[in-house]
Structure 1
Amino acid sequence: MSETVDDDLYKRTLALLEPGDIELVGAIIHTDLSGQEDLEMHELTVEINEVIADHAEKGETYIYAGNDTPDFASNQFQGLTLDDDAFVWECQQLLRNGTFDLVFYYEANVDQDALTADLEAVEHIDRVRPVP
């Protein structure tokens, strides 16, 4: 991925994290998965859900695809708690230069360095760029 495209994605991700009801941080996750590997992308999203949920310490989560609401875009997902549907994370899956990049954002109370290290250990993840 070119640095220009990566920098543009980074800046756009920063804009998503602007102050709101919840203080958020995020990560841009570059993968080696092509646009033809939808099943693998789904499996990777499930694995990332488990890693982020573990670091967020909010209990068991599920992935909400938003297919029943016009408020969600295609390839936009949320991790919500089983107990009370509380927000854990949100992501968008983007196809850039032939491979998927995932933009995740989540509450700022996680140890960003530890989360980044755990994400970088996941198969199919080439690089994680934390977004403060």
Structure 2
Amino acid sequence: MGETLDDDLYRRTKALLEPGEIELLGAVVHTDLGGEEDLEMHELTVDINRSIADHAGKGETYIYAGNDTDEFASNQFQGLTLDEESFVWECQQLLRDGTFDIVFYYEATVDQASLVDDLAALAHVDGVTAVP
């Protein structure tokens, strides 16, 4: 892995991936999107959803915002399968130094390097930090 730009963000993201019921990987997607670019942030989250779901082989997914529960924080989302509503990914959108970083974690069944390459190629992405 290259130089870590935000040690605290990396450490907290890695802590989310500690062993649990399923093995997880993660990625921090660094964007050029500011706090006023809601539509672009939504579109990027939809594009990332598609990419993670494709790499995970999960089929069609939707994005759950958690507005009906107090278990979710603001700007926290999940990608769930259409058929069984099973977990595909979860993310938290964090405004850092004027632009958003989006912390994603997902099942460790994906080819991490290939997924990171695909995420890095998306519009508004300034870089991706893989979290093993």
Superposition TM-score, scaled by structure 2 size: 0.96
For residues 76 and 102 of structure 1, the distance between their equivalents in structure 2, rounded to whole angstroms, comes to 10
- In structure 2, stretches of 5+ residues that fail to align are none
Partner of 1:15: 15
Q: How far apart are 1:6 and its partner, in Å?
A: 1.1
Residue 45 (1) aligns with residue 33 (2): no
For residues 91 and 80 of structure 1, the distance between their equivalents in structure 2, rounded to whole angstroms, comes to 12
AA at the equivalent of 2:122? V
Q: How far apart are 1:7 and its partner, in Å?
A: 1.3
Q: Structure 1, residues 34-58: CA drift from partner, whole Å, max 9, x if none?
A: 1110111011000000000000001
Instruction: Give the paired residue count.
Output: 130
Q: Structure 1, residues 20-69: CA drift from partner, whole Å, max 9, x if none?
A: 11110100010000111011101100000000000000100000000001
Superposition TM-score, scaled by structure 1 size: 0.96
For residues 80 and 123 of structure 1, the distance between their equivalents in structure 2, rounded to whole angstroms, comes to 23
User: Per the alignment, in what secondary structure is the counterpart of residue 79 of structure 1?
Assistant: strand
For residues 4 and 109 of structure 1, the distance between their equivalents in structure 2, rounded to whole angstroms, comes to 24
For residues 119 and 81 of structure 1, the distance between their equivalents in structure 2, rounded to whole angstroms, comes to 20
Q: How far apart are 1:10 and its partner, in Å?
A: 0.3
AA at the equivalent of 1:70? D
Partner of 1:108: 108
CA contact (8 A) 2:30 2:128 kept: yes
For residues 48 and 74 of structure 1, the distance between their equivalents in structure 2, rounded to whole angstroms, comes to 19
Partner of 1:97: 97
For residues 130 and 30 of structure 1, the distance between their equivalents in structure 2, rounded to whole angstroms, comes to 11
Q: Structure 1, residues 59-93: CA drift from partner, whole Å, max 9, x if none?
A: 00000000001110110000000000010000000
User: Per the alignment, in what secondary structure is the counterpart of residue 84 of structure 1?
Assistant: coil
> How many percent identity over aligned positions?
75
CA contact (8 A) 2:4 2:10 kept: no
AA at the equivalent of 2:58? K
Query: Superposition RMSD on alpha carbons, in Å?
Result: 1.1
Matches within 5 A, 1:1-132: 6-132=6-132
User: Per the alignment, in what secondary structure is the counterpart of residue 27 of structure 1?
Assistant: strand
AA at the equivalent of 1:115? L
For residues 70 and 20 of structure 1, the distance between their equivalents in structure 2, rounded to whole angstroms, comes to 22
- In structure 1, stretches of 5+ residues that fail to align are none
4+ long deviations beyond 2 Å:
none
